A = this chain, B = another copy of it.
Amino acid sequence: MRRASALVLLCLFTCFSGVGRGQDARFPGFATASTRLQREWEQAFRGLPDPNVMRETMQRLTARPHHVGSPYGKANAEWMLARLKEWGLDARIERFDVLFPTPKERLVEMLEPTRFTLRLEEPALDTDPTSNQKSEQLPTYNAYSIDGDVTAPIVYVNYGLPDDYEELERLGVSVKGAIAIARYGNSWRGIKPKVAAEHGAVGCIIYSDPRDDGYFGGDVFPAGPMRPKDGVQRGSVMDAPLYPGDPLTPGVGATPGATRLDRKDAATITKIPVLPISYGDAQPLLAALTGPLAPAGWRGALPITYHVGPGPTKVHMRLQFNWDLVPAYDVIARIPGVTHPDEWIIRGNHHDGWVNGADDPVSGAVALLEEARAFATLVKRGWKPARTLVYAIWDGEEPMLLGSTEWAEAHADELRQHAAVYINSDGNGRGFLSMGGSHSLEHFVNDVARSIDDPDAKMSVWKRKQLQRLSTAPNAEARTELRERDDLRIDALGSGTDYTAFLDHLGIATLDLGYGGADDGGVYHSIYDDFYWYTHFADTNFAYGVAMSQTIGTTVMRLASADVLPFDFRGTADAVRLYLKELRDLLKARQDAIGERNRQIEEGVFRATFDPRRPTVAPTTEQVPPHLNFAPLENALDTLTESARRYHSAVERLLSGDGHPAPEAARALDRLLIDSERSLTNSAGLPGRPWFKHLLYAPGIYTGYDVKTIPGVRESIELKRYQQADAEIVRVAEALTAQAALVDRATTIAEQASARGR
């Protein structure tokens, strides 16, 4: 398929200057001369990723189920290793032995008011050639549920989040002694059994309501992309916000010699048995429920009246698992850097799936492999990255980031020393670029996005993203920012994919990139997420697979060869400014809401709206949250803002001349920059979860995947721990101050180097 590639290359050369920035601009971190050379190599690179290779690779990797510990997962790792070597890269497999439970017995039956045994099985479909590989498919289950055998009435708990239980309390309904039935969505699934157990439930069932990813959203598979009646979302339910990775080896690599916890001491295994089911299986259970009518927002798209229960639905659930250690195979390739070999740019995507896993994760893995193939080609043509590239294809991500976490923990000392940036993806789709990561890289990654052409729209992916955000901006203020701010804001990162150990545990600056948003789907973690589905309903011609390789490859190349690592702390300061405002608004909103509710209780609002036919429990008055001392954070932010501004000026001056900055100055700067993200961590970690050390970003205790920014402060307010909130403000302020000091040292180096250069 050389002709197609050449055509793309030609088009890129000719079309690009029109839509991107002019040829004279400098890339962030690059001197003018280096930018020129870099641009040529990048353009060569972006012509190499081949959609047909991606399609073939996807078909190969998804031909059979390939979860961690499976024969085909191992075969895939070995096949990828062989490819990487064949292309001339230095590659190897690293193995970790991780706890990975698989089902021995799964039984759910409704005993009352009628008997019904749940199917718990996704049927094979004639049109879908890999859906019948029953002997290799993992059954539908939630990994790290404990074993259990319970019989109890069920209570419908909506999404099963703390707010839902407050609503249940108003309805006078408790889950104590009951099995909570929650629907998937609105949080990471592991939160649901955790909160259910906290409220006294003895078991938890999670089902996929058709409102959320079934027929409500579009035609169901195989007519369309959405979840069919018997489709089930598998997934991990370990308490990942405590720590991800192997439950038996928190904080250390799961190597042969590692000390392992006793399973009963592994805090991330659930407290109650949990099982996911389809909406086909859920409907009879929910239809039989009586009790209070479910609040309007709780009602899904099943053709029933949603009641909360309890009664009369009674369910028996028995779950038994094999609690085996299985091998996880991470595939790691390196391209050594020429001038800064001890500075690593790490790029990762996982290869294990829950079943055939085409969208998740192979759509991302094939883009990564095409980047690696293209770099191997460039190296043969004489390209030499200044820094070392590490390409990682992780195993065991699905059970909860096993391969990446164990690798990061095993190599923690080296990584703290050498890792400049970790760049992650986890699948890919058609649509708009999503950019998340450390805000010191915000300006840099925006610059990359301006260099990439969108396959569908005749504009850069940056421009398309900006215009898409404009089209959905909530108000005029947001639109003004979108139009006037130089860079698009990037998302802060929570968790749910392999960057977690790098960013949150080790404090390595991170980016997470991917395309999506044009297509919906409801096959996530089911047997239907396969080659047939992906090539009918997602990025069917791999045009966005190519864009993804181009985007992340360009990111890697630019990080690898910049004269100075392109960190810009103005992004960090501006993000913190926003988060600080959010924290103030959050506190104020809680003060207002609680104060107002207290007043309404006193005025008799709940007596006035009480309906004897639908009795509710009135809330009780509560102490209004106190004011907090945000001053330390404000002072530290002012300091960092000023330091970031000065550093930016100093680096601009350093790079704006004709030549390159002196190598020893560049190295000294890099040394500080590599450490910079670490200054935002604290070795004691977050309150109650020491594994998470980053003070600006973390997955929420009750969101699981979604980020909580400045989590120590934010979650202390949310959990009504106001003294702790004040203490956390001080810790964050100290970290920002430390980062400002580091940035000031960098400024001094840059200024001295500029002075010497003159």
Contact = CB atoms under 8 A, between A and B. Distances in A.
Contact of A603 (B218, B467, B611, B612): B467
Interface string A320-337: 000000000000000000
Interface string A576-597: 0000000000000000100010
A211 to B, nearest CB: 9
Contact of A467 (B299, B301, B604): B604
13 contacts: A215-B303, A216-B299, A216-B305, A218-B293, A218-B305, A220-B305, A301-B303, A302-B303, A457-B608, A467-B607, A471-B600, A471-B609, A518-B613
A6 interface: no
B301 A456 contact: no
Contacts of A604: 459, 463, 467
Most buried by B among A302, A463, A467, A610: A467
Contacts of A613: 518-519
Interface in A284-321: 293, 299, 301-305
A523 to B, nearest CB: 15
A470 interface: yes
Contacts of A600: 467, 470-471
A470 B299 contact: no
A505 interface: no
Contacts of A611: 456, 518
Contact of A470 (B210, B603, B607, B612): B603
Interface string A255-293: 000000000000000000000000000000000000001
A468 interface: yes
A608 B463 contact: yes
A650 B468 CA distance: 61
B608 A476 contact: no
Copies in the complex: 2
A464 interface: yes
Interface of A: 210, 215-220, 224, 226, 293, 299, 301-305, 456-459, 463-464, 467-468, 470-471, 476, 479, 518-519, 592, 596, 600, 603-613
Contacts of A471: 600, 605-606, 608-609
A313 B550 CA distance: 45
A272 B123 CA distance: 47
A210 B457 contact: no
Nearest to A472: B609
B210 A303 contact: yes
B215 A305 contact: yes
Contacts of A219: 305
Contacts of A302: 303
A471 B619 CA distance: 13
Nearest to A304: B215
Most buried by B among A218, A224, A226, A301: A301
Given A518-B613, A603-B470, A608-B464, A224 B456 contact: no
A440 to B, nearest CB: 28
Contacts of A459: 604, 607-608
A519 B463 CA distance: 51
Closest CB pairs A-B (n = 8):
A467-B608, A303-B303, A467-B605, A464-B608, A215-B305, A471-B605, A219-B305, A471-B609
A514 B596 CA distance: 29
A639 to B, nearest CB: 36
Contacts of A467: 600, 603-605, 607-609
Contacts of A458: 607
A473 to B, nearest CB: 10
Contacts of A293: 218
A454 to B, nearest CB: 8
B603 A224 contact: no
Contacts of A220: 305
Contacts of A456: 610-612
Contacts of A305: 215-220, 224, 226
Contacts of A464: 608
A600 B467 CA distance: 8
A727 to B, nearest CB: 31
Contacts of A476: 592, 596
A479 B600 CA distance: 10
A272 to B, nearest CB: 31
A471 B226 CA distance: 39
A216 B211 CA distance: 12
Nearest to A457: B608
A219 B303 CA distance: 11
A596 B479 contact: yes
Contacts of A607: 457-459, 467
Given A596-B479, A605-B470, A610 B457 contact: yes
A592 B217 CA distance: 31
